[in-house]
Structure 1
């Protein structure tokens, strides 16, 4: 069953609700899912920060950097990277030009309103269930790779520099993805090209979701994005350095990520969990909002080619560790989120081989 071409009910941009005194009932989360006063999170836990400059050093430095990444993947599923090769100025310009887009008049943005069939364009919801609980955020979703599906005519024409900056930014971050794919392959004991081949090499997918979380009159009752693990391979997130909001599940606690200047936040997705036979795991995360300021972030998702079967790598399977997951194409896998929205880790858990 494919997704419908239209949403089941009118889509209301969250930005249009930001000045209300109270939030509509559709955005109020059940008490067990509410963040409370997340902006005052007192946790001292920090996700690891990895200096990728070590990958270009001597053998000992390179090996130490890889151990750091492997440890972060096993313990957290998240880490921050610095000295990653992407210009801080390009990062700043990407963030600011998209902030300008979300400040355009509503009619300029609605030209790019999306559908549940592809999500490409401007939107405010994910799942297609009528009457579903909604998150406090708007977004713009677009394809970067492979070239065969990239269509810049679907990217905003305003601000005038947006397409050029987005293309340059995407190109540089995709290069970083290639480096991380090699590192993850090696640290899993695989040939350094294994994951890139498993993703379809040049046909691997890269897409971008720009998230805009307007200020919220009742931030303790809702979430910018509900708890979920990312369905794809892994995610490179450019956070808003002025406003924190990302939280990562660590055991039974939620840890607020304190981003460092000029860093990307990297997190593993479900496809890496499957390919690694759960040596590396995707981790639930969510976003809280606040009453004073809007927040923007740019997530680049690096994913397998949609029609390739993805299952545990043979090298990760042993007599003591049988294959944990049934193979599935990414096209089929991501239909789950398109239909039901964000639901923790229930999708990857449904693949567990019985």
Structure 2
């Protein structure tokens, strides 16, 4: 990952204006949002990534989310285990308890044994383990990224761009299932994270997905004679995605 990448355009939407009591103000911000979507769809191969500001959560709250998240990962392992996943609660702390691929598990253990403070001594070797890319399996991803350490990069027209840090803004990425539902008009965003060998980085993510039992396909309104369905209707997409993700394969064209 090169350090001389350009920044992507800062497409910023003020969420508070979208719900403004003033019809004029709300319409103006909505028009701005539609302009961003239209520009990305028709002139930039449909890959949509933007920042949303003023989402209704205070700056103090957003700062606390990142600070507590960072603090959590400094806790001893036994403390973190208290917040482990369970059959009744799939959300929580987790580690690979019974890896199906012993070789890959050994590679991970090897990296952990080297410890973060030693990675700068072999940055190229470390980068080989951090440059895999993905487009997420859900509908949309909402990211509260680190306030100081740049890491997120997005792919557009076969070129990588850095995502700028806008403090307290939410980065929105379109994922695979929106691509399917839009019949390919909007493309899921392929992205990656650049490793930082000197600074600690923390981000939080919210993944929004349709019900796993629901079938997902192209919306009828977006299917025409000139643009037939480009994707098969799928169910339990997340499971199909998980089968392909380990080999860095894509589930959508």
User: Does residue 281 in structure 1 map to residue 187 in structure 2?
Assistant: yes
**Partner of residue 214, structure 2:** 308
Deviations 1:246-272 (A, max 9, x none): 110112221111111111100001111
After superposition, give the CA deviation of every residue in 1:192-243 in whole Å (9 maximum; x if it has no partner). Answer: xxxxxxxxxxxxxxxxxxxxxx664344423557200010010110000111
CA RMSD of aligned residues (A): 3.1
Structure 1 residue 297: Cα displacement = 0.4
Q: TM-score, normalised by structure 2?
A: 0.79
- Give 1:109's match in structure 2, choosing from 80, 87, 92: 80
Match of 1:242 in 2: 148
**2:70 maps to 1:99:** yes
What pairs with 1:252-271 in structure 2 (closer than 5 Å)?
Answer: 252-271=158-177
- Aligned with 1:84 (options 39, 48, 55): 55
Mapped contact 1:223–1:287 kept (Cα < 8 A):
no
**Distance (whole Å) between structure 2 residues aligned to residue 82 and residue 99 of structure 1:** 22
8 Å contact 1:135–1:223 — kept in the other structure?
Answer: no
Which residue of the partner structure matches residue 347 of structure 1?
251
> Is the Cα–Cα contact under 8 Å of residues 72 and 78 in structure 1 kept in the other structure?
no
Which residue in the other structure is 2:197 paired with?
291
Tell me which residue corresponds to 1:66: 33
Measure the CA separation in 1 of the matches of 2:237 and 2:155: 23
Matched residue count: 232
Contact 1:219 1:288 in 2 (8 A): no
CA contact (8 A) 2:85 2:93 kept: yes
Q: Distance in 1 between matches of 2:39 and 2:57?
A: 21
Describe how 1:1-354 pairs up with structure 2 within 5 A: 35=1, 38=2, 40-55=3-18, 56=20, 57=22, 58=24, 60-71=27-38, 74=41, 75=44, 76-113=47-84, 120-123=91-94, 130=101, 131-132=103-104, 216-217=119-120, 218-220=122-124, 221-224=127-130, 226-329=132-235, 332-344=236-248, 346-349=250-253
1:139-162: per-residue Cα shift (whole Å, max 9, x none)? Answer: xxxxxxxxxxxxxxxxxxxxxxxx
Q: What's the TM-score, normalizing by structure 1?
A: 0.58
Q: Deviations over 1:166-186 (max 9, x none)?
A: xxxxxxxxxxxxxxxxxxxxx
**Relative to 1, partners in 2 of residues 1:241 and 1:124: Cα closer, same or farther, differing over 3 Å?**
farther
Q: Structure 1 residues 340, 315: CA separation in 2 closer, same or farther (over 3 Å shift)?
A: closer
- Structure 1 counterpart SS, 2:61: helix
Q: Summarize the Cα distance change of 1:93–1:338 in structure 2 as closer, same or farther, 3 Å threshold.
A: same
Does structure 1 retain, via aligned residues, the 8 Å contact 2:183–2:223?
Answer: yes
Is the CA contact 1:50–1:69 (under 8 Å) kept in the aligned structure 2?
no
Query: Which SS does the other structure have where 2:31 is aligned?
Result: helix
1:293-349 Cα offsets, whole Å, 9 max, x none, are 1111000001101100110110000000001111112xx211134344355561123
2:113 is matched with: none
Note closer, same or farther for the CA distance 1:135–1:301 as it changes in structure 2 (3 Å cut): farther
